[in-house]
């Protein structure tokens, strides 16, 4: 069963909002925004398999992650949700909505399309696997070991959120061997057997290449009631770069009649 953080709302008749993180992330990346949404509705934020505090397994793909989500909802006795997914989580969300349309009231897809997308994770995964965690004594030493392969400070901080200190020392929460073997599959098109006719919001960063104007007519063949919103001055991690604009855009969509 997936590990999931839950944020109960004080009093709400709204369906739970379930948030799916991206590749190499975890539910903790969404803590601040989840707390804001939990002021008006319950929020559930799971870690995907092989990520965060969820289980490790050799099987990893969008079909498996879709089944994990259904199992989580069944275990929590949740029948219908609002569903938000970013990047890899967005592809999982699209597949779940198409496969289980009766369980999704509204769908939000953050900066990804159902089509093949560029995947450039190999340098990050190789750098993380190359750190000799048995010899490091603090987080700063791990960051220094990543600098040459991961020059962006922001990306390093994102990756370092997967660093866990235990009584025996440091370890990565991610299942690095499996994710290094399958990372290219994350960028594949989602295998959608049908369409989702419910209200859908695709929200992209203005500086991101993942959802293009050329993609949009094809996106609408799978999601005929979809609308597209663009967050200015944001890239792929739009929810981290422009959290207020992202929150307000998604909140307006979720609260619409």
pLDDT of residue 228: 98
What's residue 119's pLDDT?
A: 76
Question: What mean pLDDT is reported for the chain?
Answer: 95
Give the contacts of 203 (CB within 8 A, at least 6 positions apart).
Answer: 108, 109, 110, 111, 228, 229, 230, 231, 238, 246, 249, 250
Give CA–CA dist 22/208, Å, rounded: 15
Which pLDDT score is estimated for 12? 79
**Phi, psi at residue 245, to the nearest 5°?**
-65, -40
Region 123-144 average pLDDT: 93
The stretch 121-144 carries a mean pLDDT of 92
pTM of the model: 0.96
H, E, C per residue of the chain: CCCEEEECCCCCCCCCEEEECCCCCCHHHHHHHHHHHCCCCCEEEECCCCCCCCCCCCCCCHHHHHHHHHHHHHHCCCCCEEEEEECHHHHHHHHHHHHCHHHEEEEEEECCCCCCCCCCCHHHHHHHHHCCCCCCCCHHHHHHHHCCCCCCHHHHHHHHCCEEEECCEEEECCCHHHHHHHHHHHCCCCCCCCCCCCCEEEEEECCCCCCCCCCHHHHHHHCCCEEEEEECCCCCCHHHHCHHHHHHHHHHHHHCC
| pLDDT 10s digits, 96-124 | 999 999 999 999 999 999 999 877 888 99
pLDDT of 11 strictly over 80: no
Instruction: For residue range 12-21, list pLDDT tens digits in order.
Output: 788 999 999 9
pLDDT at 9 (0 to 100) = 81
Domains defined along the chain, listed by start: 4-117+190-255 (3.40.50.1820), 122-182 (no CATH)
pLDDT in tens, 34-60: 999 999 999 999 999 999 999 999 999
pLDDT score of 7 more than 80: yes
- pLDDT tens string 200-223: 999 999 999 999 999 999 999 999
Residue 234 pLDDT > 80, yes or no? yes
Instruction: Determine contact, residues 90/20, Cβ cutoff 8 Å.
Output: yes
How sure is the predictor about 92, in pLDDT bands with cuts at 50, 70 and 90? very high
Question: How large a percentage of the chain has pLDDT more than 70?
Answer: 100
The pLDDT assigned to 217 comes to 95
Q: Where does the pLDDT of residue 236 fall: very low under 50, low under 70, confident under 90, or very high at 90 and above? A: very high
pLDDT per residue as tens digits for the range 163-209: 999 888 899 999 999 999 999 999 999 999 999 999 999 999 999 99
């Amino acid at each position: 069963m997936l590990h999931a953080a839950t944020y109960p709302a004080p009093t709400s008749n709204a369906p739970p909002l379930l948030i799916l993180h991206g590749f190499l992330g975890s539910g903790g990346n969404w803590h601040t925004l989840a707390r804001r949404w939990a002021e008006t509705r319950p929020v559930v934020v799971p870690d995907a398999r092989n990520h965060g505090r969820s289980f490790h397994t050799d099987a990893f793909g969008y079909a498996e992650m879709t089944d994990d989500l259904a199992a989580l909802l069944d275990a929590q006795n949740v029948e219908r949700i609002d569903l938000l997914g970013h990047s890899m989580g967005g592809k999982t969300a699209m597949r779940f909505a198409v496969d289980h349309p009766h369980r999704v009231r509204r769908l939000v897809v953050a900066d990804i399309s159902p089509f093949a997308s560029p995947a450039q994770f190999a340098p990050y995964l190789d750098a993380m696997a190359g750190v000799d965690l048995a010899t490091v004594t603090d987080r700063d030493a791990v960051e220094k070991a990543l600098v040459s392969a991961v020059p962006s400070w922001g990306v390093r901080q994102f990756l370092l959120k997967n660093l866990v200190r235990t009584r025996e020392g440091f370890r990565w929460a991610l299942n690095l061997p499996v994710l290094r073997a399958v990372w290219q599959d994350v960028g594949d098109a989602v295998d959608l057997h049908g369409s989702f006719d419910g209200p859908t919001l695709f929200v992209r960063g203005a500086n991101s290449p993942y959802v293009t104007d050329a993609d949009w007519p094809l996106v609408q063949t799978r999601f005929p009631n979809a609308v597209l919103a663009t967050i200015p001055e944001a890239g792929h991690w739009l929810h981290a770069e422009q959290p207020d604009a992202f929150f307000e855009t998604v909140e307006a969509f979720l609260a619409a009649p």
